[in-house]
Amino acid sequence: MDTVLQIEDLHKSFKTGFIPKEKKILDGISLEVKAGEIFGYLGPNGAGKTTTLKCVLGLIFPDKGNIEIFGQSNLSMQAKEKIGFLPENPYFYDYLSATEFLSFYCDLTAAKKERKKTQITTLLRMVGLEHAANLQLRKFSRGMLQRIGLAQALINEPSLVFLDEPLGGLDPLGRKDIRDVIVRLKEEGKTVFLSSHILQDIEMICDRVAILVEGHVVNQGPLQDLVSEKVQVTEITISGIGSEDLGDLGERYSAQGDRVLLKVFEEEKIASVLQLILEKKGRVHSLIPRTETLEDLFVGAVRQK
Amino acid sequence: MKILAIALNTFKEAIRDRILYLLLFFASVCIIFSRLLALLTVGDRAKIITDVGLASLSLFGALMAIMIGTGLVYKEIDKRTLYTLLSKPIQRYQFLLGKYLGLLLTLFIMLALMTVIFLILILLHNYPVEGSFFIAILFIFMELCLITAVAMLFSCFSTPILSTLFSLAFYLIGHLSWGLETLVNKMPQGGVKTVARFFYLVIPDLENFNFKTEVVHHLPIPPKVFIYSSLYGLFYTVFILALAMIVFRRRDFI
C-alpha cells in the first residue's frame, strides 16, 4: 500500500507565560498513514494530537521534522488540493446558509465550477442535511454543525481526510451517523486520519492506530497486532448457586437479585464452573470472554509514560 | 478567483456589522449638521457645508476602516474559521488580500452612500458641485485604503483593542506630521535636522490626501500634486500590505 502521509521526527514547542518558558508539545513524532485505511490517532487531552494536525495542515510550523502528503511537502498547493479537514468544535460563518457556505468553500478549491451544484447537493444528502440546505448556520445544532463541517472537508473530493474529534459532543445517533459516513469514505477508497480520545469509536472503525502520550508516539500498528486476542478473563453471570459452592473458581461479585457475577481468570476453570452449575441445576445468564481492549492498551501506555 | 471568493465573503460579513451602520448614522448627522453651522456663519455658507461635510466623510470613513479592519483577521483566528480556510489550497497572502479587498468594497459602498447624502444636501441649496469635489473624495478613499492596510497589519499580530489604538494613533500622527515637516524646513543644517527629516519620511503624512482647502476655496489641483499624492498613497499602501503578509506568512495559529 502507498504511503499517503509520512511524518518524520516532528518536534514542536511553544513559549508560554509572562517570563517565556519553553514547553515541548511534540517530541519526535514519526508515523506513516497508508492509502485507503482509517488511521486512528489516539491520545489523552493535551497529548499533542491537534498540534500534530496543525503542523500537517500548515497552520503552525514545526521546529524540526519533515511532513509529506502524497510524496509532496505538506505546504504545497498540490498536496492541499488532495486533503480535507474538519477541526475540533468547528465554528463557521454563521450568517451563511448551508448551500452558500459549501459554495464558498468550493470556490477556494480547484473543484470544477460546473459540478459545484451537484457536488453540494450530493454532500448535503451524504451528511443528512438536505432539509437544511437554505437554513443559516446560526440556526444549526451542534450535531448539524459537525455534519456541515464534514461536508466542507469533502467539498474538493479529497483523497485524504483529517478529522479532529469528529464525534465529540454528539448524541449516540449522531455519532453512529458520522461513523457510517467515515466508513463509507473508506469504501470509496479515501484515507481517513481520525484524531480522537473516544476509544470505542476508534476501536470500531480504525484499521491502524497510533497512541500519543506527552508528545511521543508510544505505540502504533494494526489494531489486531497491538491488542492481544488472548482471553484475559471470562465473566459468567449465574443464578441458583450458593456462593459457598463456587469455592476458589473465580472472583465473585453480587449482581441483581440472586445473580452472581463470577470472574474466571484461568480458562481451564470455566469447564468446572459449568459442570457445577449443571450439577446444582443452576442457570447461566451470560458468559463473556474478555480479551484485551484498546482501552487496556491505552491506559497501560499512559500509565507507563 | 480564490481572492475574489474571500473578498465577497468578507463583504457579506462586514455589511452585517452593526457598528458600520452606527457610524453611517453619525456621519449623516454630521453632514446634515454642517447646514446648521452654515446658518450661524457670516459669509459663504457653501464653504462651511463643503468643509464640514468632507471632514465628516474622512473621519467616519477612517473610523469604519479601523473599527472593522482591526477585527478582520483576529476574528478569523479567534473563531478558528481560519483553520478550515488555510487547510484549503490557498496561500496565506491570498487570504489577506481577499480580506483587504472585501473591506475596501464595503468602505467604497459606505463612502458612496455618505457622498450621496452630502450631494443631496448641496444640491438642495443649489450650490455648484465642481470636479475637484469628486477628486477630494477619491483621495479620501485612497486614505481609507492605506488606513485599512494599517488596521489589517495590526490585526495580524495584535488584539482588536490594541490594534484599534495603534491604528487611531497612526491616523492622528498622519494628520499632524505636516507640523514636523514645517519644523524640519525651519531647522538649521545639522544632525538634528537629518534625524527629524528621517522621522518625517518614515511616519505617514495623511495630509497628502487632504484636498478640502482646494475644493472649499475653488483652487486648482496641480497635476504634479495629484500624481505625487496618488503615488504616495499607492506605495505606502503596498508597503504596509507587504509588511502584513510577511508577519502573517510565518505566524503560528495556536
CB contacts, 8 Å: B4 with chain A: 107
Q: What is the DSSP secondary structure assignment for residue B188, as one 8-state letter?
A: P
Q: Which residue of A has its CA nearest to B1?
A: A107
Both A63 and A161 in one domain: the answer is yes
Give the one of A81, A87, A162 whose C-beta lies nearest to B80's C-beta. A87
Both A236 and A219 in one domain: the answer is no
What percent of chain B lies above the pLDDT cut of 90?
39
Count of domains for chain A? 2
Both A35 and A157 in one domain: the answer is yes
The rounded distance, in Å, linking the Cα atoms of B34 and B27 is: 11
Per-residue pLDDT tens over the stretch B153-181: 999 888 889 999 999 999 999 998 888 88
CB contacts, 8 Å: A156 with chain B: 88-89
Which amino acid does the sequence have at A199? L
Give the one of A77, A80, A95 whose C-beta lies nearest to B13's C-beta. A95
- Whether A291 is in a domain gets the answer yes
Q: CATH number of the domain that A90 lies in? A: 3.40.50.300
Give the one of B81, B86, B90 whose C-beta lies nearest to A59's C-beta. B86
Judged against a pLDDT cut of 70, whether residue A215 lies above it is answered with yes
Nearest to A147 by CA among A186, A168, A178: A178
For residue A64, the enclosing domain spans 3-226
The rounded distance, in Å, linking the Cα atoms of A51 and A41 is: 12
| Helices first, then strands: H and E counts in chain A | 10, 14
Contact B12 A85 (CB under 8 A): no
B interface test, pick of A51, A54, A59 with most B CB neighbours within 10 Å: A59
What does the pLDDT read at residue A1?
64
Q: What is the mean pLDDT of residues A28-43?
A: 91
Contact A91 B12 (CB under 8 A): no
Mean pLDDT of chain A: 86
The rounded distance, in Å, linking the Cα atoms of A249 and A43 is: 37
- Whether A305 is in a domain gets the answer no
Per-residue pLDDT tens over the stretch A78-130: 999 999 999 988 788 888 999 999 999 998 887 777 788 888 999 999 888 88
Both A9 and A75 in one domain: the answer is yes
Q: Residue A239 phi/psi, 5° resolution?
A: -145, 165
The rounded distance, in Å, linking the Cα atoms of A160 and A192 is: 6
| Grid coordinates given for A305 | 509514560
Q: What is the mean pLDDT of residues A33-62?
A: 91
Q: Taking an 8 Å Cβ-Cβ cutoff, which residues of chain B contact chain A?
A: 1-2, 4-6, 9, 12-13, 16, 79-91, 250, 252-254
Both A180 and A244 in one domain: the answer is no
| Grid coordinates given for B218 | 475653488
Q: What is the mean pLDDT of residues A47-56?
A: 92
The rounded distance, in Å, linking the Cα atoms of A290 and B11 is: 59
What does the pLDDT read at residue B182?
86
Contact A57 B86 (CB under 8 A): yes
Range with top average pLDDT, A148-157, A258-267, B24-33? A148-157
CB contacts, 8 Å: B13 with chain A: 93, 95
- Whether A301 is in a domain gets the answer no
- Domain stop point among A201, A226, A251: A226
> Model confidence at B126, in pLDDT bands (50, 70, 90)?
confident
Q: Residue B191 phi/psi, 5° resolution?
A: -60, -40
Per-residue pLDDT tens over the stretch B214-246: 877 878 888 898 899 999 999 999 999 999 999
Q: What is the mean pLDDT of residues A213-232?
A: 80
Both A183 and A68 in one domain: the answer is yes
B37 versus A279: the higher-pLDDT residue is: A279
Q: CATH number of the domain that A243 lies in? A: 3.30.70.980
- Domain stop point among A208, A226, A244: A226
> Model confidence at A198, in pLDDT bands (50, 70, 90)?
confident
- Domain stop point among A193, A226, A259: A226
Per-residue pLDDT tens over the stretch A166-180: 887 788 888 888 889
- Whether A304 is in a domain gets the answer no
Check: CB of residue B125 under 8 Å from CB of residue B87. Answer: no
B interface test, pick of A108, A160, A164, A165 with most B CB neighbours within 10 Å: A108
Helices A142-153 and A116-126 pack at an angle, to 10 degrees, of: 140
Note whether ipTM > 0.85 here.
no
Q: Which residue has the cell 504511503?
A: A3
Helices B18-39 and B92-124 pack at an angle, to 10 degrees, of: 30
Residues 6+ apart with CB under 8 A from B131: none
